[in-house]
Amino acid sequence: MGDFEFDVKSLDSYNKVDTDLKNQRKLGSSQPNGQAQRNTQEQDQDQESDIKSLTAEELQRFKELANKFFSLNEDIQKIEEVLRERKKLKMDLTKKILSFMAEYDIEDLNTNKGKLVYSVSNRKTGLSIAKLKKNINNFFKNEEQSNNFLKFLDEREVKEVVSLKLMKK
């Protein structure tokens, strides 16, 4: 498990921004000096209770979580590589078995582990945007109506997704 290096600069910049905000509030006050200081101190106390300071234990816990994340990510990558290799081998074997079964006109093959069935099916091709536009234009026979319909189809709800990405060095 590799060591996680915490960027202390980001913590320092966080503290600097917090200090800058406090100073701006002190300088920007147009109230009498004593009243402004009391209000600023009250605001500082409110803000400090809202902002959680990072303790040594929390930093250590964060490092442990990050190290575990990196370790699991490496394990998953190794497993996925083995899985890709096995799927490729399975696909090669499937092609050979299907070719053999087609050549010798074998529809079913019973084995101790199960039954292999040679079957043929027809499936529709996927819908591409170009194919969809072409078919809609043919249906409406009016380019303006088809464009309006395509715009209507494209009006979809936007969903925000939060994720964690590992960027390679």
At residue 91, the pLDDT reads 97
At residue 29, the pLDDT reads 46
Q: Residue 50 pLDDT > 60, yes or no?
A: no
At residue 169, the pLDDT reads 76
At residue 31, the pLDDT reads 47
Q: Which residue type, as a one-letter code, is found at position 125?
A: T
Q: Which range among 14-18, 59-63, 91-95 shows the weakest confidence by mean pLDDT?
A: 14-18
Whole-prediction pTM: 0.53
- pLDDT > 90 in the chain, percent: 46
Minimal CA–CA distance to 98: which of 111, 112, 116?
Answer: 116
